Amino acid sequence: MPERDDDEYAIGQVSEMQARFGWTAESWQGPSLRDERVPDRLRDLLPLARRWGVTCDVTRHDVADKASRAELAELAAGLRGRHCEIEDWLYSPDDGSDDERAAFQAMVVLEAEACDGPGLAGLLGWAIRWYRDRPCAERRERLAAAYREVLGWGELPHLAEDLRAARELLGGERGD
């Protein structure tokens, strides 16, 4: 953890940051996650989130580097086929489960980085899938909101296909 508020944005070599702040696998303590703040359908993943939900980039890489192949394989196996469920929760309206969501997101990031996992879809990609799965007014509005948000980010070529797909699903509308 940062020593002072301004340390949160410190920049330096990984080894320097680890020495200065103690951001290592050995000093990392898993997050305190409250079961009731995680949807029932994802609670079986809480042990993995407590072990692998490392939100600090420096520490997360150290944890992954020091994990055994068997441990990483267990993480990948535990998340196999669960990414859409996790995305549905992460992109759902805020329910006060910030720490839990952060741990789940960090766990999936670690899996993507260390296990070549699929990672998480971006907001617009998720909204497209979610709407296609079951088109309805509520999901259309979420798609339109995601589309508007992504448009506000400016020119991002890697999102061109998602923007095109969203425009098509919205009937050529801009989501206004």
pLDDT digits (tens, 9 = 90+) for 17-67: 787 888 888 888 988 999 999 999 999 999 999 999 999 998 999 999 999
The rounded Cα 135 to chain-centroid distance in angstroms is 24
Helix (H) or strand (E) holding 84: helix 83-90
Total-model pTM: 0.85
- The mean pLDDT of the chain is 90
